[in-house]
Structure 1
């Protein structure tokens, strides 16, 4: 696109009222603003959003316009000063509601209803309004009123149970990634509701839970227990992989050694000159699921091999072997990563008070044009112009007859061809499938989805490739066909499917689709309005484009690993599935935004998403902090930027509880419970631990929350599966798979009041729908099927298993 061309706005014409505070709601609104929506942020007169008071500030000088967190989470918005809960403000607020398409709140629907802002009342003012509520535990269920924080979400969502080392307390993930993750889910769910309204014309209440958002990323505790009866503990010093994955020191920093599959494990050992480890029966069965003393022996051996090497030379050499090593950059390092610089990922915004500030930009390129990210607003900067815009709006109550009680599924009628494998691409496609899209997953008998071989039941009568908890979770609601895309016949069939599709998703390195002869230009010539999403590790068009990446390495490259760990120790894995979920969710955000653009223009496009860019977006507030003040918090354990301590403390039966006071009043109540008058940072954690040590962690959570103290039990798999709040709010989806039987899988962490997501069709068997799709959609003659089977263009049994 020419430099002087107007920026593209995928969400132009969509008006958003952001009445939220904290992180998740504002991040949701920011993602909509960055795609071109007109977002108005409502702030308290005089003092503004609470985040404006959040440091760290440059030279410790507090200023309402200098908060790096506010800067990042509020780009592209306009600001109006308005006390929403005062009687004299109601007329103005009602006029805004009548004019706006979407309202984003960080309060539950019941809390909003106390102020005449609940969904049912909003519908009387604007029947087409979409209300998105983003809270710690959702708007419904027995714990909907509980207070939350990043630390608490890590605890109650299953991450803390996996993060850390077995000999120490559980840990929160670095940055505030649970809150940004929740915000990204909220943006996706809001766009689903927008797409649904485009189809049926009705409003919607979208309710998003931080606990369930974290649960979606920490499927391991629940799925391990469902499938194998295992209780995975903290293995974050090991990571997830076929034989183990490690972050180890080199002579100039840390490097991530990531072996996700058995062949990668052998290549990793070969690369380090230790094929003997891969071939030694003594190490058989060693993996992140069984991190016994042998893992530590392997760590020591690998450490010796790395000690005299630099991280960067190891990374590039391993890339030539197709082994996905990962650098572990600091915040300052991230600004200098070659792919980020070559793709122009970071954008510098000039603020009237803060000056130039560099932050993560849009993590994808598109053939539709370039985006413009605008600086955040000054407090009340747009009050007068907004009031003038709504001056002619009545704010009157709408006719009740226009209201509807049931909506169609948001993406009914949309068809998606899903070429992606493992997690990042499939989770994006799953979001579309759960919302009603027909998703056709394409594998081949030559190369099945790699997640079909991960973590299945060893004693199952099903073949191993049909009993993987991860594949079965992330591929529900999809159909499955097999096509050998190296065969011209397979390519031709794929092209015919594309002719009838709206979206194609793939997560190969850029060279692969070119090798298949299935580039965007080729597919566009068949279906001009096609939207194609490519999610490669490093994005296209840079010097690292053809390097292999997996979830663990993208988590390392994001900066999150650098920020996760004990303050006195090495970087750790967060304990979940690495960067894949973050990338897939951002991929869904980009796709849904592109669909809105196609609704407006009729234009398709190619989205070139970089997974390491997508993952870095989740800690953009810390990137802004570095840009403004060159402060890198590093690994903070369970601490945060606050004078009020927080932590995870031992309870009875080797269980744990997170306590995270947000205000001095909450802290005073806690100290009173402990009987502590004068507390000191050096001793108070021990005092809290002594008080919690004999108590049941769940009962203590409920007790503290009743006192108004934010707290969360550190939950494991069976506790999550049996949790009444999660059960009552439909957090799990029950699916019956032949032979395996019924299993519970985490559902989407958002719920539509008027149109629930589908999410009830079990994951497909390999090639289960091949004949149906080829005959009915691709138009293949029945007599050709036998030839295609015989030549392994299609099939139901992997060649490697014959």
Structure 2
């Protein structure tokens, strides 16, 4: 795959991901490489690319499969009048702050502004302080990840249609699709989640101070998470009153969470963070030490899996530096050269291999996915596949309950039941549900029989689970040669920590993200939404699309930790080089109204800002102004700014998202008409379709088992009576 890279920092993560899957990426400098004078950032973002002269862009684009372009709309070089691509034969992926259409398409935004406009900033920070965005360019990273998957979707669509197309990726929408419960709590419960200082609202996890350092962990999830933690406390004679019978009721524990957390906090405070994390891993409990990015290279799990790679560059001290790898690669590269000039004699391309046109127009029409995932990371990945045409068969059970369907804390709306859980509805739309009791031999056999009818199997169980069902990678290949198995365990299928149990917060702690949520002089707070889950999900989608585009089966062993650690690369390189953190311009400022804020990407020394505020300092100028009015005035003056949006703001009051139709309504048989988060990758010629709500539990059991396996009514009735199906 030949990629022409016309990105600025907004799309840099997308180009790096394409390098990681083996693309030949030609970098055309858009007037200053991403990272500016930041050596660490330049080294990280551009290793493995080749620099080419920017003289004749049309000739370069004519020889490219994908043109990846990013930046404010008025700076784009490949978009002509009327929003038409200048290079219609290529898959032209364009990443802009707010999209190519809509009333705010001309608005500008850096990472802070986009994290705020998309709803992530609101979720961070303490209740008594300003909202805080996630660290390390999370908004840029999400936009880039969706751009990379959009490139693969466009190539798969080109195989069907023989045509290139324009793909519109809005960074604001990439963020707004990644809030976990940030917006859907408003949709389903009419409530806006507040800032909690790092305490999760819907799972009993948080950051606890240890005798030395900090740990992330908790006691939500399966009942075993509680019983085994309690057993640990009892062994150490530190359970206090938690052995009383009343605490065996999960609802009591949830309602009186503050007391349980206090007992656990006292237990953790008597031990070092490393001790708690190590013993937690040994007991298969979700606990992890909070580490700084500089310590990532010492992680034995990442080391054992060959995650890191060396970037060679004569300009670097010693000629090389160790960097993180990518979220997923089909063939990890231990060494890469820094950005260098392409040889003049380099042939521009090899002949594209001929492909037989396939029926259907959407990129994944005709692809069937067996979805064995649960909770968030896996379902968010398979949801994206369904949007672009895949037939996703979700296998679930009342015996191994997905908490997003069954846990009351995840129903969001009081009185909801497992069939209209707001959390489940949002990440499982467009799928078919087959309910199998996999504790029975007949249930497992039915699952095995489904495999030959599917092109892709995706799972996020603990390593070894599929093997117990006879569905490990080797067994799957025997049953269905060429099938693609995508595994996305927390730490991967190999390595010394492979059996560790992980949650989003523990992975963020291991990856260096949690440590960066400290306020000056304060403890780390952590992230109160599953950013890491969605980062891992995007990596799983990229891996699936890459293998499908190459026509390959086999086993993708994706580690969610590696997907998250890949986002902190510049910090790892910076630590290795001894470079200071570059200063950041702008921040979040209070505006008029209760708990209303504006993100501004400029400092007081910015001339454009002084032209707006005059002799008044920015804080005073903003304090008496409505957030949207203030942001509008600043944007008109060329200063990137946006209100710090809540979930309610996004769903109810954002005219730009409304104009782009970002919250479509689906009619659910139990919940009724419900708004859902929209699709991020907008393919002009082969658009995604959001038309079917999440399934009821087992809604399609008879349809799938009858249609694919040929089971008749009598056999289906017998399976239901025996408790094998629902």
Q: TM-score, normalised by structure 2?
A: 0.91
Aligned match of 1:647:
588
Q: How far off is 1:298 after superposition?
A: 5.3
Aligned match of 1:658:
599
Q: How far off is 1:266 after superposition?
A: 5.7
- The question of 1:217 aligning with 2:199 is answered no
Q: 1:700 aligns with which of 630, 638, 646?
A: 630
Deviations for 1:290-313, whole angstroms, at most 9, x for unmatched residues? 9xxx76665544332222211122
Bigger mean CA offset, 320-329 vs 738-747: 320-329
Aligned match of 2:724:
793
Deviations for 1:509-544, whole angstroms, at most 9, x for unmatched residues? 112111112111111011111110001111112121
Q: 1:415 aligns with which of 351, 363, 368?
A: 368
- The question of 1:188 aligning with 2:153 is answered no
Q: How far off is 1:109 after superposition?
A: 6.0
Q: How far off is 1:491 after superposition?
A: 2.4
Aligned match of 1:314:
276
Q: 1:523 aligns with which of 437, 455, 476?
A: 476
Deviations for 1:657-714, whole angstroms, at most 9, x for unmatched residues? 11112896xx12323443349xxxxxxxxx4322211211111111111111111101
- The question of 1:435 aligning with 2:388 is answered yes
Aligned match of 2:354:
none
Q: How far off is 1:608 after superposition?
A: 0.7
Tell me: CA distance 1:210–1:643, structure 2 relative to 1, closer, same or farther (3 Å).
Answer: closer
Q: 1:105 aligns with which of 62, 65, 69?
A: 69
Aligned match of 1:231:
192
Tell me: CA distance 1:452–1:333, structure 2 relative to 1, closer, same or farther (3 Å).
Answer: same
Tell me: CA distance 1:305–1:558, structure 2 relative to 1, closer, same or farther (3 Å).
Answer: same
Give the Cα–Cα distance (whole angstroms) in 1 for the partners of residues 529 and 424 of structure 2: 15
Tell me: CA distance 1:151–1:278, structure 2 relative to 1, closer, same or farther (3 Å).
Answer: farther
**SS of match in other structure, 1:657:** strand
Give the Cα–Cα distance (whole angstroms) in 2 for the partners of residues 19 and 521 of structure 1: 41
Give the Cα–Cα distance (whole angstroms) in 1 for the partners of residues 98 and 328 of structure 2: 31
Stretches of structure 1 that go unaligned for 5 or more consecutive residues are 1-13, 56-66, 83-88, 391-405, 634-640, 678-686, 796-802
Give the Cα–Cα distance (whole angstroms) in 2 for the partners of residues 794 and 643 of structure 1: 56
**Contact between 1:138 and 1:144, CA under 8 Å: does it hold in 2?**
yes
Give the Cα–Cα distance (whole angstroms) in 2 for the partners of residues 106 and 708 of structure 1: 18
Deviations for 1:157-184, whole angstroms, at most 9, x for unmatched residues? 1111110110011101111111111101
Give the Cα–Cα distance (whole angstroms) in 2 for the partners of residues 457 and 176 of structure 1: 29
Give the Cα–Cα distance (whole angstroms) in 2 for the partners of residues 413 and 231 of structure 1: 39
Q: How far off is 1:487 after superposition?
A: 2.6
Deviations for 1:762-784, whole angstroms, at most 9, x for unmatched residues? 00011110111111102224322
- The question of 1:41 aligning with 2:27 is answered yes
**SS of match in other structure, 1:768:** coil
Give the Cα–Cα distance (whole angstroms) in 2 for the partners of residues 371 and 488 of structure 1: 42
Aligned ranges 1:599-614 → 2 under 5 Å: 603-614=552-563
**SS of match in other structure, 1:698:** helix
The two structures, once aligned, show a CA RMSD in angstroms of 2.8
Aligned ranges 1:186-335 → 2 under 5 Å: 186-242=147-203, 244-261=204-221, 263=223, 264-265=225-226, 267-268=228-229, 271-272=232-233, 273-274=238-239, 276-277=241-242, 299-335=261-297
Deviations for 1:98-123, whole angstroms, at most 9, x for unmatched residues? 11111111146675478759863524
Q: Alignment length, in residue pairs?
A: 708
Tell me: CA distance 1:645–1:472, structure 2 relative to 1, closer, same or farther (3 Å).
Answer: closer
Give the Cα–Cα distance (whole angstroms) in 1 for the partners of residues 531 and 132 of structure 2: 15
Aligned ranges 1:325-364 → 2 under 5 Å: 325-354=287-316, 355-364=319-328
Q: How far off is 1:374 after superposition?
A: 2.5
Q: How far off is 1:235 after superposition?
A: 1.4
Bigger mean CA offset, 198-207 vs 607-616: 198-207
**Contact between 1:135 and 1:210, CA under 8 Å: does it hold in 2?**
yes
Give the Cα–Cα distance (whole angstroms) in 2 for the partners of residues 605 and 297 of structure 1: 48
Tell me: CA distance 1:20–1:117, structure 2 relative to 1, closer, same or farther (3 Å).
Answer: farther
Q: How far off is 1:744 after superposition?
A: 1.1
Give the Cα–Cα distance (whole angstroms) in 2 for the partners of residues 43 and 458 of structure 1: 50
Give the Cα–Cα distance (whole angstroms) in 1 for the partners of residues 646 and 252 of structure 2: 22
Give the Cα–Cα distance (whole angstroms) in 1 for the partners of residues 136 and 184 of structure 2: 26
- The question of 1:81 aligning with 2:46 is answered no
Deviations for 1:743-776, whole angstroms, at most 9, x for unmatched residues? 1111222211122211221000111101111111
Aligned match of 2:41:
69
Give the Cα–Cα distance (whole angstroms) in 1 for the partners of residues 597 and 21 of structure 2: 41
Give the Cα–Cα distance (whole angstroms) in 1 for the partners of residues 142 and 504 of structure 2: 15
Give the Cα–Cα distance (whole angstroms) in 2 for the partners of residues 196 and 114 of structure 1: 20
Aligned match of 1:456:
411
Tell me: CA distance 1:700–1:37, structure 2 relative to 1, closer, same or farther (3 Å).
Answer: same
Q: 2:658 aligns with which of 727, 733, 745?
A: 727
Stretches of structure 2 that go unaligned for 5 or more consecutive residues are 350-358
**SS of match in other structure, 2:557:** strand
Q: 1:771 aligns with which of 682, 702, 707?
A: 702
Aligned match of 2:353:
none
Give the Cα–Cα distance (whole angstroms) in 2 for the partners of residues 336 and 495 of structure 1: 40
Deviations for 1:180-227, whole angstroms, at most 9, x for unmatched residues? 111011111111111111122111111111111111111423211111
Q: TM-score, normalised by structure 1?
A: 0.83
Aligned match of 1:401:
none
